[in-house]
A and B are shown apart, each in its own frame.
Chain A
Amino acid sequence: GAVVSQHPSRVICKSGTSVKIECRSLDFQATTMFWYRQFPKQSLMLMATSNEGSKATYEQGVEKDKFLINHASLTLSTLTVTSAHPEDSSFYICSARVASGIIYQETQYFGPGTRLLVL
């Protein structure tokens, strides 16, 4: 099946620094990638939808200047947490969707997630 990777799997940083998380579709081209955030024992919350070559669409309440998303190619999207603070500590998960011809396939393939801890 389709594989999505994330790097790094775990990162610890100091408050005020920026952290970049990569999401790659390894064996398929993803026109759309999604970024989610998951708090402990809670659901995944969609942060933004990223389309290759265009600006990301952010969900209500998500600061686009804080969570910078770049989808430069059909296999790579990046999420940069700028000026990170302890409240940004969370589990960040990306997914990629395969677009098949005219009809969108709804299946999203998920990465394993990146755990961010801001000290």
Chain B
Amino acid sequence: GDSVTQMEGPVTLSEEAFLTINCTYTATGYPSLFWYVQYPGEGLQLLLKATKADDKGSNKGFEATYRKETTSFHLEKGSVQVSDSAVYFCALSDPGAGGYNKLIFGAGTRLAVHP
């Protein structure tokens, strides 16, 4: 079945460092791809998404490009801040039974940014 694999954490960076969190997926169809972020004590929030190949999702300085040829959706940010410390989840949506999309998540990657 469909699956999402993302790099294990934690990822520890200094402020203003470059961030990459790798995400690859397996899907039989043409999924939409997402990055969600979970700040401490809060629910998951949609960070960005891409719905077709070569689309680039971006938000708050984060970017990810839907690469069909490599089945990847790596998350990048050029200069991280302490406030970016959170758990990041890569996910895909898979049209399920009855046409209701459901999300399939990766295991999550914890990012810790220190001053």
Query: Whose C-beta in chain B lies nearest to the C-beta of A107?
Result: B46
Q: Are A46 and B103 in contact (CB under 8 A)?
A: yes
CA distance A20 to B9 in the complex (A): 33
Total contacting residues, chain B, CB less than 8 A: 26
Q: Are A43 and B108 in contact (CB under 8 A)?
A: yes
Q: Does B68 contact A (CB under 8 A)?
A: no
CA distance A45 to B103 in the complex (A): 9
Q: Are B100 and A44 in contact (CB under 8 A)?
A: no
Q: Are A106 and B100 in contact (CB under 8 A)?
A: no
Chain A: number of interface residues, binned into ranges: 20 to 34
Min distance, Cβ A19 to any Cβ of chain B, angstroms: 20
Q: Are B43 and A111 in contact (CB under 8 A)?
A: yes
With A32-B100, A41-B107, A57-B98 already in contact, the answer to whether A106 and B93 are too (CB < 8 A) is yes
Residue of B51, B93, B102, B107 touching A43 (CB-CB under 8 A): B107
Q: Which A residues form the contact surface with B (CB < 8 A)? A: 1, 4, 6, 32, 34, 41-46, 49, 51, 57, 93, 95, 104, 106-113
Q: Which B residues form the contact surface with A (CB < 8 A)? A: 4, 32, 36, 41-46, 49, 51, 89, 93, 96-108
